[in-house]
Amino acid sequence: MGSITLKQVTKNFDEVNVIKPLDLEIKDGEFIVFVGPSGCGKSTLLRMIAGLEDTTSGNIEIDGIDATKTPPAKRGLAMVFQSYALYPHMTVRNNIAFPLKRAKVSPAEIESKIANAAKILNLTDYLDRKPGQLSGGQRQRVAIGRAIVRQPSAFLFDEPLSNLDASLRVNMRLEISELHKSLATTMTYVTHDQVEAMTMADRIAVFNAGIIEQVGTPLELYKNPVNKFVAGFIGSPKMNFIDAPQNEDANVSCIGIRPEHITLSTEQGTWAGTVGVIEHLGSESFLHINIEGKGTVTVKADGDCPLKYGDSIYLSAPADKVLKFDNNGLTIR
């Protein structure tokens, strides 16, 4: 049990409108990721779901029951904050026990729940330390532990990994995905890192300036973005946007090609360009190629690409991989 339904939800801070009327259905057991640029209202929406922020208008339903005015503790949700928000003067054990003690759970049960959570999260050796004596990743796990012992109907994560270094982020990403598989609880996860979104999500909601541009599975968003914003936001490196060629019909203002769909040739192709900076990553290379009059495009090539700075080159792309956008930025199918 953990479905969340948002119906025409809006949010104003004083006079400023931050969330425009918004509908979203989060299914039970789903891992949904809110992704979008900074300041687009992802955290605000998450905090509204948690009950930490009032809803200006519209309804939030949890498990089919209207919870718009329900206080945070009664919503049965658990949140993991970006800053972890651990209680600094309590040991890890007491941090995890805090919600259970407030709920008047019996000491024996608390003990067994802590032991269980500590085992899942590899915290058994650290239970008697204070948060200040833990590493970032361990603190993150304590925050998750504090969330899971309550057995919430849904988890809310607000950029939980943004304070960790790159390699730890990859590990924690896996651990959270693993946790989702084993608990099978609804998880709502906010991030502005589209790699996190792509790798973890069952479905992704792409936010932009207070509205949801598109909701769908990672591959749907990758293959069929509804507009230029989603196309540019999903995928790494970013999609290349090129002004429409003359022979296209007047509707098309711009075309988009992903770096991995461009083929290079020394003899012929649709566009001619010169090779700029090449980034070698070992398994692959990213070439920044300057096309006369069209700007720079990024191309993904093999790791052992023989080209050098300044080489002349031709580019082409298969027609079925090229996206076309109209004057309003919407995708033309």
Partner 1 sequence: MATTNSRTLARFMLLPSVILLLAWMIVPLCMTLYFSFIDYNLLVPGDKEFVGFLNYEFFLTDPAFFESFFNTLYLVTGVLLITICGGIGLAILLDQAIWGRNYVRIMVLAPFFVMPTVSALVWKNMLMNPVNGLFAHFAIWLGFEPIDFFAQMPLFSIIIIVSWQWLPFAALILLTAIQSLDREQLEAADLDGAGPFSKFFYIVLPHLSRAITAVILIETIFLLSIFAEILVTTSGGPGYSSTNITYLIYTQSLLQFDVGGGSAGGIVAVIIANIVAIFLMRLIGKNLEG
> Closer CB to Mg ion, residue 192 or residue 203?
192
CB distance 233 to 36 below 8 Å: yes
Alpha carbon of 73 to those of 4, 52, 170: distances in Å? 16, 10, 31
The CA distances from residue 34 to 7, 41, 143, 203, in Å, are 17, 10, 20, 9
Closest separation in Å from C-beta 90 to partner 1: 8
In the list ligand ATP, Mg ion, partner 1, none, the entry touching 291 (Cβ below 5 to 8 angstroms by class) is none
Name the residue nearer to partner 1 (CB basis): 88 or 282. Answer: 88
Name residues contacting Mg ion, limited to 25-44 (CB under 5 A): 43
Does 191 participate in binding Mg ion (rule CB under 5 A)?
A: no
Residues that bind ligand ATP (CB under 6 A): 13, 18, 36, 38-44, 192
What minimum distance in Å lies between the beta carbon of 20 and Mg ion? 17
Strands, sheet with 65-66, edge to edge from the N-terminal-most edge strand: 16-26, 4-13, 57-62, 65-66
43 vs 138, beta carbon nearer ligand ATP: 43
Question: Residue 41 binds which one of Mg ion, ligand ATP, partner 1, none, with CB within 5 to 8 A depending on kind?
Answer: ligand ATP
- Of 141 and 146, the one with the shorter C-beta distance to partner 1 is 146
Polymer length in residues for the chain: 333
Distances 87 to 79, 99, 141, 170, 260 between C-alpha atoms, Å: 14, 12, 14, 26, 46
Closest of 180, 154, 211, 175 to residue 8, by C-alpha? 211
For Mg ion, the closer CB: 43 or 138? 43
The residue of the chain with the least Cβ separation from ligand ATP equals 43
Residue 157's DSSP bridge partners are 80, 189
Q: Which of residues 41-60 bind Mg ion (CB under 5 A)?
A: 43
Shortest spacing between CB 139 and partner 1, in angstroms: 13
The answer to whether residues 157 and 190 touch, using CB atoms and an 8 Å cutoff, is yes
Least CB distance to ligand ATP at residue 156 (A): 12
Choose among 196, 191, 188, 287: nearest CA to 240.
287
- Residue 24 beta carbon to ligand ATP: minimum distance, rounded to whole angstroms: 15
Shortest distance, CB of residue 85 to partner 1, whole angstroms?
A: 4
DSSP 330: B
Chain residues that interact with Mg ion, rule: CB under 5 A: 43
